[in-house]
């Protein structure tokens, strides 16, 4: 793996590679968690609308 260190391209050290891979894994976990949160919020919203007997358009008209 190559990295740019102050304008000089060089091979990454084992420590740098480990840090890069950890950062990539952390980003993937964060993206997966964000998607899970988004889906949960969407399901909660749908449940509230169903409980109220409203469509999304009707709710938007009432709140908008």
Show the domain range for 25: 2-63
CA dist., res. 56 & res. 60, Å (int): 6
Structure tokens at 60: 């938007």
2 in Cβ contact with 10 (< 8 Å): yes
Please report the pLDDT score of residue 31 as a whole number.
Answer: 98
Please report the pLDDT score of residue 45 as a whole number.
Answer: 94
Please report the pLDDT score of residue 48 as a whole number.
Answer: 95
Q: How confident is the model at residue 63 (pLDDT cuts 50, 70, 90)?
A: confident
Reported as a single tens digit per residue, the pLDDT across 10-44 is 999 999 999 999 999 999 999 999 999 999 999 99
Domain count, the chain: 1
pTM of the model: 0.68
- Which residue has 């709710």 as its token pair? 59
């Amino acid at each position: 793996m190559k990295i740019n260190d102050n304008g000089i391209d060089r091979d990454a050290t084992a420590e740098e590679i480990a840090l890069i891979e950890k950062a990539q894994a952390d980003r993937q976990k964060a993206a997966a968690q964000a998607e899970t949160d988004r889906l949960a919020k969407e399901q909660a919203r749908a449940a509230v609308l169903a409980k109220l007997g409203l469509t999304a358009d009707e709710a938007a008209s009432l709140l908008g």
